[in-house]
Amino acid sequence: MKLPDHGRHDLAPDLEQPDVLVIGGGVAGLFAAYHLRLAGAAVTVVERGPVGGPQSCSSGNTGFVGTQGAAPLAEPGVLTQGLRWLGDKESPFYIKPRLDGGLVRWLWHFSRACNDRDFAAGFAVLLEMKQRSLEILRAVCARGDLAPTLVSDGMVVAFKSPEAFAKACRAVPRAVAGGVPLRILDAAALRALEPDAEFDIRGALFNADGAYLRVPEFIVGFAAELERMGVRICAGTEVTGFQLAGRRIQRVRTTMGECRPGETVIAAGSWSTACARQLDVGLLLQPAKGYAVTVSAPPGAPRLPVLLSEGKVAVVPLGGRLRLGGTLELTGMDPEISQRRVSGMLRTVGAYLPGLGDLTTIDTWSGLRPCSPDSLPFIGRAEPYQNLLIATGHGYIGMGLAPAGGRLVAQIAAGEKPDLDPAPFAVGRFSGRARRQAGRRNLPGPRQPAAAGPAWIAPSGHGGSAGR
């Protein structure tokens, strides 16, 4: 197999013929490229901006990975809470009123998923995916330049109200049985973990599998590692159109020329909707805007990441800085930052951690996270095309889902039997036909049989020079 010349970063018209073209250089696209390259494919990644740049959700988020946060957004009672929050201009949740048929359809499917059965099924799927992703991340970051970018010392989950803490404590045995290593912290145990931090809370839990990636350092370093493996990464390159031949994508037009990939993967985050629309593929996604505020770490800052449960704010230590992440706004493709939401986040942090005092802001960032109605990503082939895959919709936990999601993309592309059931991630699962087929099974559709692998699959399942 001839590897691409990764010393070149242009897409020469009619000359570039990768086995797989990945559209999107965020965490989902990079992990798809990683697993495809390990399988022996010649891979090109195009990214509309700089890899790890501010346009990417992989740039400024809190980077949470591990087993914390596997619960779907669509949970019983969330609609009632959301309606109460809509009247609060500093609340962590907001929907911008507008005439948008896609938003209405998304909200309708979201409301249908707010039941105990779908919530439990979604939680099980997301938890397994996060567990597998953490294993992959630990292997990827085991050595070299990426080792300092994964911090896996555990995570504190803090609760302000007695009711929320009591509810969380009741759920601990079930969570532990399901593979989430939670334990209840008394005051002495919390002080032992965080001797310098002052908490004003009712109680806390500790998740030993709580971890986070330092971003954008991880994304930039991972992209460099992929280039060393032979993946061609073309930053500052936008897709402008497609040329079709029957049910196949024959050419992909970009701002740097054309290419003729054997397979195309759309992994462009919230921009996947517009990209797929050029192929008449509908993706039921909403861009959910989240904020990250980076501040100077004052004395008394926590040493571990802390999730402020009811306040929906995460606190991540980054050396001499703290990154505060939170909010979920359905405002369309609008990156504008609301200072009222930022003020609400800072007040929430002060209420839980009063010892921090007045915080000095270094940077404020917003990112558009691609969310599906049921919080499960779209991963799989997109009908009616024979050589188009989708990998998007990872929502606000994309860093923790993308490693396993990328492996699923590679397995589907190679025609291998996936180690994750692909049915819950089916691209067309919200179509009327798919729901009728799923019926009482509460699944988007039947598991697809493995097909014969493409020519780029090496006999051992790994490309000869693609290993780390």
pTM metric for this prediction? 0.89
Contact criterion met (CB below 8 Å) for 212 and 322: no
pLDDT at residue 77, as a whole number:
80
The HSE-up count of residue 258 (CA atoms within 13 Å, CB side) is 11
All structural domains of the chain with their residue ranges? 1-76+115-150+210-282+373-468, 81-98+155-208+286-371
How many Cα atoms are found within 13 Å in the side-chain-facing hemisphere of 342? 18
How many residues in the chain?
Answer: 468
Distance CA 420, CA 176 (A): 22
306: region left, alpha or beta (phi > 0 left; psi from -120 to 50 alpha): beta
pLDDT digit of tens for each residue in the chain (468 aa)?
333 333 334 443 334 799 999 999 999 999 999 999 999 999 999 999 999 998 888 888 899 999 988 889 888 887 776 666 666 667 777 888 888 899 999 999 999 999 999 999 999 999 999 999 999 999 999 989 999 999 999 999 999 999 999 999 999 999 999 889 999 999 999 999 999 999 999 999 999 999 999 999 999 999 999 999 999 999 999 999 999 999 999 999 999 999 999 999 999 999 999 999 999 999 999 999 999 999 999 999 999 999 999 999 999 999 899 999 998 888 899 989 999 889 999 999 999 999 999 999 999 999 999 999 999 999 999 999 999 999 999 999 999 999 999 999 999 999 999 999 999 999 999 986 555 444 444 444 433 444 456 765 543 333 433 333
Domain 81-98+155-208+286-371 part of CATH 3.30.450.40: no
Q: How many whole angstroms separate alpha carbon 351 and alpha carbon 160?
A: 9
Block residue for tokens 């992209």: 223
- Whether the ω angle into residue 299 lies within 30 degrees of 0, i.e. cis, is no
Q: Are 266 and 25 a contacting pair, CB within 8 Å?
A: no
What pLDDT sits at residue 378? Answer: 98
Task: Identify the CATH homologous superfamily for domain 1-76+115-150+210-282+373-468.
Answer: FAD/NAD(P)-binding domain (3.50.50.60)
Separation between Cα atoms, residue 437 and residue 405, nearest integer Å: 24
User: d(Cα 93, Cα 338) in Å, to the nearest integer?
Assistant: 12
Residue 55: strand, helix, or coil:
coil
- Residue 416 to residue 411: CA distance in whole angstroms: 5
Which of 338, 302, 303, 308 minimizes the C-alpha distance to 325? Answer: 308
Contacts of 431 (CB under 8 A, 6+ apart): none
Q: 361 pairs with which residues across the strands?
A: 295
Cβ atoms within 10 A of the Cβ of 17, count? 13
